Amino acid sequence: MIPLSHSLIIAALLFSLGLLIILVRRELLFILMGLEVMFNGAALTAIAAGQYWKNADGQILTIFLTVVTAAELAIALILVWLAFEHLNTTRADKLNLLKDNIDRGPP
C-alpha cells in the first residue's frame, strides 16, 4: 500500500504545477489545462484520503469532480472557440471587451 504522505506529495505537486501553468501562460487553452491539472491534484487527494480511512467517499467525490470538470471544460472550450472566432486571439490579456474604455474626463 502506498503511504498517504507520498500520495499527498504527488497531489501537491500536481496542484502546484497547474497553478504555475495558470500564472505563467496567457493562452486560454493552457489556462484550462492548468485548471484540469489542479482538479486532478484535488481528486488524487480525495482518493488518497478515502484509501487511508478505508471508505469509498474519495472515489465517489472524484467521480462527481470528474463530471463537473467535464461540464466546465465543455462550456469553457465553447467560450474559447467563440472568443477566437470574434477576436482572432485566445490570449487572456488581449480579451478586454468588458473593460470600460469611455473617457469620463477629470473626476
Interatomic CA distance for residues 44 and 59, integer angstroms: 9
Contact 80, 27 (CB under 8 A): no
The dihedrals phi and psi of 8, each to the nearest 5 degrees, come to -70, -35
pLDDT along the chain (107 residues), means of 10: 93 98 94 95 95 92 94 93 88 74 59
Coil, strand or helix: which one is 88?
A: coil
Q: What is the pTM of this model?
A: 0.83
Interatomic CA distance for residues 5 and 82, integer angstroms: 43
- Identify the structural domains of the chain with CATH numbers, from first to last: 4-94 (1.10.287.3510)
